[in-house]
Amino acid sequence: MSNITIRAHPKFSNVYISGLPQNPKLYSKNLIPGNKVYGERLITFKGEEYREWDPFRSKLAAMILEKPSLEFLKKDLSCLYLGASSGTTISHLSDIVYEGVIYGVEFAERSMRQLIQNTDKRKNIVPLLGNANFPESYAKSIFTPIDLVYQDIAQPNQAKIAIENCDYYLKNKGFLILAIKSQSIDSVEKSEKIYMQEKKILEKAGYVIIDSINIHKYAANHIILTVQK
Options 3.30.200.20, 3.40.140.10, 3.20.20.240, 3.40.50.300; which CATH number does 7-54 get?
3.30.200.20
Q: What is the pLDDT of residues 1-11, one digit of tens each?
A: 568 899 999 99
182 confidence band (pLDDT: 50, 70, 90): confident
Average pLDDT, the chain: 93
pLDDT, residue 174, reads 96
192 confidence band (pLDDT: 50, 70, 90): confident
Q: Provide the 3-class DSSP secondary structure of residue 77.
A: coil
pLDDT, residue 187, reads 66
Domain coordinates in residue numbering, the chain: 7-54, 60-228
Which residues, in sequence order, are CB contacts of 47 under 8 Å at separation 6+? none
Name the E strands within 132-207.
146-151, 170-181
Q: What is the pLDDT of residues 196-208, one digit of tens each?
A: 888 999 999 999 9
Mean pLDDT within 118-125: 95
pLDDT, residue 211, reads 93
Tell the CATH topology of 60-228: Rossmann fold (3.40.50)
Contact 40, 51 (CB under 8 A): yes
Q: What is the pLDDT of residues 66-104, one digit of tens each?
A: 999 988 899 999 999 999 999 999 999 999 999 999 999
Percentage of the chain exceeding pLDDT 90: 81
**Of the candidates 190, 186, 181, which has an alpha carbon nearest to the alpha carbon of residue 225?**
181
Within 10 angstroms of residue 48's Cβ, the number of other Cβ atoms is: 13
Q: Provide the 3-class DSSP secondary structure of residue 57.
A: coil
d(CA 26, CA 214): 18
pLDDT, residue 214, reads 93
Residue 183 one-letter amino acid: Q
Within 10 angstroms of residue 189's Cβ, the number of other Cβ atoms is: 12
Mean pLDDT within 7-33: 94
